[in-house]
A = this chain, B = another copy of it.
Amino acid sequence: MKKLTGPLLIAGSPEKVPDLLYATGFSAVDPVVYLQDRGRRWLVVPLLEAGRARRQAKKGVEILIPAELVRRRSAQRRRDQWILALLRRARARRVTVPGYFPVDLVRRLERRGIRVRVAPGSVFPEREVKDAAELRRLRLAQRAAIRAMRRAVGLLRRARARADGLLELEGRVLTSERVRHEIDTTLLEHDCIATETIAAGGTQGADPHERGRGPLRAGEPIVIDIFPRRRADGYWGDLTRTVVRGQASPAVRKMHEAVRRAQRAALRGIRAGAAVAPIHRAAQRALEAAGFATAGRGAEAEGFIHNTGHGVGLEIHEGPIVGDAPGRLRAGHVITVEPGLYYRRHGGVRIEDTIVVTAKGSRPLARCPDYFEL
């Protein structure tokens, strides 16, 4: 993962390409082009974004509009023309692009004699290691998630079980939608956006990313997964608790204990320099020791059916992946630790905290209580 040398070119919408936001600090819906070479950095934006880009982009990023680069009007709409003009400015005939770079632009550049090298890994490997300012932003996102979790838990605590087992609050059946609304409005108060908040009860939770719908019941596990993004800077938080209003069944209680133990086992292995695979295996083994071996083939598999964790930053899922894969942790990595168990019959149980890797271990990005039976 050594740093790249030579000109680096990125194209796309900063809203969808975190490397652009990372490099420039500027966010927009429409496509832009970024080039850096020997200490200089250029960002080409549509005319209507020029003023905003000049105020918001990081120091040292030179903002250009297509008309400053390309004379012919019809060519001013074409990003390949922006790039060719930029490369002429930089006197570059070779560029490196990230792996996700659009193939059509590569082919157009190659037709004009530009040599395009595809970076083998991330073009900003340093993005995985968070500096103090990034940790501050991530912590604010995580705190927003924790406050939203507290409100969701409060809602469930105030709910009462009807004779038929459905939860009721203020004379209405309590639904996944209502819990999600409580979470998402809390996040908005903290200027965070959550696009896919999960509040999935009972067997719905058997699919890890099922958002949940309809009435919630007493005694069933409810997976609440909150991952807000800060509008101000684009950093994410990530937090999951699995809760039960009233008493959990013996099976679900056993699952929950096993998952908690698996999370502790994974956390024990985390420190700068540690390989990720043994951390994932430690979580798997803790679950197996409690009688929850992953079973079933292919799409019918049940048990622990995902990785133990992933990096969090300007993407909700980014490197490093904590799974059955190569790679080592570094101080300043921010990762989730989120073992889970999923059974068609019982539903899902997942516990997820986001932590900062340190020289000697880890510390939580922010602390959230261990909610379970409410």
Closest to A28 in B: B209
Residue picked from A104, A208, A297, A301, most chain B C-beta under 10 Å:
A104
From A60-68, A240-248, A251-259, A365-373, the one touching the partner chain is A60-68
Pairwise interchain contact B196-A68, C-beta atoms closer than 8 A: no
Pairwise interchain contact A298-B206, C-beta atoms closer than 8 A: no
Pairwise interchain contact B102-A107, C-beta atoms closer than 8 A: no
The answer to the question of A106 belonging to the interface, with a C-beta cut-off of 8 Å to chain B, is yes
Closest to A181 in B: B188
- Return A274 CB to nearest CB of chain B, in Å: 20
Pairwise interchain contact B196-A188, C-beta atoms closer than 8 A: no
From A42-50, A142-150, A152-160, the one touching the partner chain is A42-50
Which among B100, B188, B208 is the interface contact of A102 at CB below 8 angstroms? B100
The answer to the question of A185 belonging to the interface, with a C-beta cut-off of 8 Å to chain B, is yes
Which among B65, B67, B102 is the interface contact of A99 at CB below 8 angstroms? B102
Question: CA–CA, A209 to B67, complex, Å?
Answer: 19
Question: CA–CA, A188 to B107, complex, Å?
Answer: 42
Instruction: Please classify the interface of chain A as helix (H, G, I), strand (E, B), loop, or mixed, using the class held by over half of its residues.
Output: mixed
The answer to the question of A126 belonging to the interface, with a C-beta cut-off of 8 Å to chain B, is no
Q: Which residues of B contact A193 (CB under 8 A)?
A: 193, 195
Write the A159-185 contact mask toward B (1 if CB under 8 angstroms, else 0): 000000000000000000100010011
Pairwise interchain contact B77-A103, C-beta atoms closer than 8 A: no
Write the A100-141 contact mask toward B (1 if CB under 8 angstroms, else 0): 111111110000000010100000000000000000000000
Q: Which residues of B contact A1 (CB under 8 A)?
A: none
The answer to the question of A207 belonging to the interface, with a C-beta cut-off of 8 Å to chain B, is yes
**Given known contacts A16-B16, A102-B101, is B316 in contact with A29 (CB within 8 Å)?**
yes
The answer to the question of A52 belonging to the interface, with a C-beta cut-off of 8 Å to chain B, is yes
Pairwise interchain contact A299-B68, C-beta atoms closer than 8 A: yes
Interface size range on A against B? 35 or more
The answer to the question of A285 belonging to the interface, with a C-beta cut-off of 8 Å to chain B, is no
The answer to the question of A233 belonging to the interface, with a C-beta cut-off of 8 Å to chain B, is no
The answer to the question of A210 belonging to the interface, with a C-beta cut-off of 8 Å to chain B, is yes
**Given known contacts A16-B16, A47-B305, A52-B207, is B298 in contact with A68 (CB within 8 Å)?**
yes
Question: CA–CA, A301 to B68, complex, Å?
Answer: 12
Write the A186-215 contact mask toward B (1 if CB under 8 angstroms, else 0): 001101010110000000001111100000
Q: Which residues of B contact A297 (CB under 8 A)?
A: 67
Pairwise interchain contact B101-A317, C-beta atoms closer than 8 A: no
Interface residues of A in 266-325 (CB under 8 A from B): 297-299, 301, 305-306, 316-317, 324-325
The answer to the question of A51 belonging to the interface, with a C-beta cut-off of 8 Å to chain B, is yes
Pairwise interchain contact B181-A189, C-beta atoms closer than 8 A: yes
- Return A176 CB to nearest CB of chain B, in Å: 12
Interface residues of A in 324-374 (CB under 8 A from B): 324-325, 342
Pairwise interchain contact A63-B181, C-beta atoms closer than 8 A: no
Which among B28, B118, B306 is the interface contact of A48 at CB below 8 angstroms? B306
Question: CA–CA, A189 to B184, complex, Å?
Answer: 10
Question: CA–CA, A336 to B295, complex, Å?
Answer: 52
Closest 9 CB pairs of A and B: A99-B104, A50-B299, A51-B207, A48-B306, A52-B207, A48-B208, A100-B102, A103-B103, A103-B106
8 more CB-based (< 8 A) A-B contacts, given A185-B185, A193-B193: A48-B208, A49-B207, A51-B299, A54-B299, A67-B298, A99-B103, A103-B116, A188-B188
11 A-B residue contacts at CB 8 Å?
Answer: A28-B209, A47-B299, A47-B305, A51-B206, A65-B298, A65-B299, A68-B298, A102-B103, A103-B106, A185-B185, A195-B231
